[in-house]
Structure 1
Amino acid sequence: MLMRETPVFIDGPAGQLEALYLDLEGAKGVALICHPNPVQGGTMLNKVISTLQRTARDAGYITLRFNYRGVGASAGSSDMGQGEVDDAEAAASWLREKHPDLPMTLFGFSFGGFVAATLGGRLEAKGETLAHLFMVAPAVMRIADPSALPQNGSLTVIQPETDEVVDPQLVYAWSDALSRPHELLKVAECGHFFHGKLTDLKDLVLPRLSN
């Protein structure tokens, strides 16, 4: 079976979005993966994003990762807010049109955690039932209203304990204050970009996709 991603372009609200798409026969679901901060070098080729894509693939999921507006070959310029969520919504719609009957899982790393969580709330408000939301080292300080998150489906927050970009205590406090059911997984001796810990990340995510 061909396991290589195919480059595609998706019509986004600010122009075309560059993306990588992997289709699988007999897939158990679809996974949309949102990359980190676009003005600090974050792209869909980030190694954490690549690890999440391969993990979803190995669990039997169709995957789509994409560059926000102004990143790589995606048109437009960075908005650092709702514009990137709009881009993610366009990517989710593209994926949903291709696979209307498969459950959707969202992944977001760092700034992408804010994007995926906000997108999840939008999709749920439109009647989409998400299977799972994974927020990895998420930029929770950008989520002004926790009620904007999806309220159904599973939620997993994965936080490196020695994160030098997102304050771990901020994420722990945010998790403590979150009323909806979720799990918080802490990764010991691990920085924001999971240097030397990408296998640990895969080991946390894979069983939660395979259940």
Structure 2
Amino acid sequence: MKEVYVTFPCGELSLEGVCHLPEGSGPFAAVVVCHPHPLYGGSMDNNVVLAVCQALCEKGIAAFRFNTRGVGQSEGFFGEGIAEQKDVKAAISFVASMEQIEPKGIGIAGYSFGAIPSFFATPAEEVQAVAAISPPLSMAPLEGLKNYSKPKLIISGSRDNFTPVQDLQRFGESLPEPNQYEVIPGADHFWWGYEDQVGERVASFFANALKG
């Protein structure tokens, strides 16, 4: 696996990111991975974000993690999950333009708060599959997924202390097919000690959805 540090534009801002490239020459399918709440320490170096990126590369899929505005070396200020929608779109456009990436094989994974800017609106046409990891439905209902007809994964831990499992299950069942909902027994919202499991489940989903 090769890691490449990059900066990319989002309007007048410059954002930072890291692209994880699998072994081989590509072009690779790729997943943009969005981090949890920045006001509570969330960044592209989060444990779940890193686990998902590593698992994706092990399945031959590139992964792109980045810091939204105001986080790390990314310019700007926190945008309440609204302005960050622009950051996600900019990250998708940047990844799709990379020569190592297959632009018709792009997915998005949003962990916790990261699911809000990713799925507040219906994902862009070029996005072929999405995964919401422990999405905080009390903060935003993720209405964008209700009009998204491509593969979707909702995954949470059985001990998630932000959104009850039954609420996530109802949300998952309300989405149009194809979609799947998975619960990892014993894991809570932060996935400590369960990183390998969530990484493997998410990566397997994208391997099926993006690579066939």
TM-score, normalised by the number of residues in structure 2:
0.86
3-state SS of paired residue (1:86): helix
Measure how far apart 1:31 and its partner are: 1.0
- Kindly report which structure 2 residues correspond to 1:80-159, keeping only aligned pairs within 5 A, or say none: 80-98=80-98, 99=101, 101-118=103-120, 121-124=122-125, 128=126, 130-144=127-141, 146-147=143-144, 149=146, 151-159=148-156
Distance 2:145 2:156 in 1: 20
- Report Cα offsets for 1:124-175 as digits up to 9, x if no partner: 2xxx2x3321110012234446255552321011011101233333322322
Distance 1:166 1:80 in 2: 19
Contact 1:27 1:60 in 2 (8 A): no
Partner of 2:55: 55
Contact 2:33 2:65 in 1 (8 A): yes
Tell whether 2:8 aligns with 1:7.
Answer: no
Partner of 1:16: 14
Tell whether 2:65 aligns with 1:65.
Answer: yes
Measure how far apart 1:180 and its partner are: 4.0
TM-align CA RMSD = 2.1
Letter in 2 for 1:11: P
Q: Structure 1: any 5+ residue segments left out of the alignment?
A: none
Q: State the identity as a percent.
A: 24
Provide the aligned length of Structure 1 versus Structure 2: 204
Distance 1:198 1:145 in 2: 24
Contact 1:160 1:187 in 2 (8 A): yes
3-state SS of paired residue (2:95): helix
TM-score, normalised by the number of residues in structure 1:
0.87
Tell whether 2:188 aligns with 1:191.
Answer: yes
